[in-house]
Amino acid sequence: MKRRLWGAVACLLVAGVSLGAPSTDGQEAGRAVFQVRCGLCHQLPEPDALSPRKWHRVLELMQRRMKQADMVPLDEEEFAQVLDYLSAHAR
């Protein structure tokens, strides 16, 4: 089931389907990764809920939790994209 879900997600991303209107072109990938990867396990927090520094710490914690759950963590590029997106909208 998980493989089919990831396959569908990959197809959508490769096809260029937007998962929401990003505020800038540079944040589109970060927003998509945030919505798809983070939304698999829990309700998405509002980006303005934390400061950029706290978002960085939260993302590092989530990386560890994903590894503990035998999930593939974000790669370096995805991590940077999500952090850039969240930081741009942080308080």
The per-residue pLDDT for 15 is 39
- The DSSP letter of residue 36 is I
- The DSSP letter of residue 51 is -
The per-residue pLDDT for 27 is 85
Q: How many CB atoms lie within 10 A of CB 19?
A: 16
Check if the beta carbon of residue 64 is closer than 8 Å to that of residue 41: no
The per-residue pLDDT for 52 is 97
User: What is the average per-residue pLDDT within 69-91?
Assistant: 95
**Between 16 and 3, the higher pLDDT residue:** 3
Check if the beta carbon of residue 46 is closer than 8 Å to that of residue 1: no
Q: What is the pLDDT of residues 10-69, one digit of tens each?
A: 444 443 444 444 456 568 899 999 999 999 999 999 999 999 999 999 999 999 999 999
